[in-house]
Amino acid sequence: MPHIHELYDFVVSVFIVHNDKVLLVNHPKYNKWIPMGGHIELNEDTDSALFREIQEETGLDVEILSDKPKLKIDDTKFMYTPNFVDVHFANPPHKHIALIYFARSKNNKHIISNEHSDIHWLSASDFNKPEYGLTESIKFYCQEALDHARNFNL
CATH number of the CATH domain containing 99 = 3.90.79.10
Residue 2 lies in a domain: no
> Dihedrals φ, ψ of 49, to 5°?
-65, -40
Is 72 a member of any domain?
Answer: yes
Is 15 within the bounds of a domain? yes
- pLDDT interval class at 113 (50, 70, 90): confident
Does residue 154 register a pLDDT over 90? Answer: no
User: Does residue 1 register a pLDDT over 70?
Assistant: no
Q: How many domains does the chain have?
A: 1
pLDDT of amino acid 2: 64
Domain with 135, as residue range(s), is 8-151
How does the average pLDDT of the chain come out, rounded?
Answer: 93
Q: Which of 8, 16, 36, 52 is nearest to 115 (CA)?
A: 36
Flag whether 51 is in a domain. Answer: yes
Band (pLDDT 50/70/90 cuts) for residue 3 is low
Query: Could you tell me which residues are beta bridge partners of residue 119?
Result: 25
Q: 62: pLDDT confidence band, cut at 50, 70 and 90? A: very high
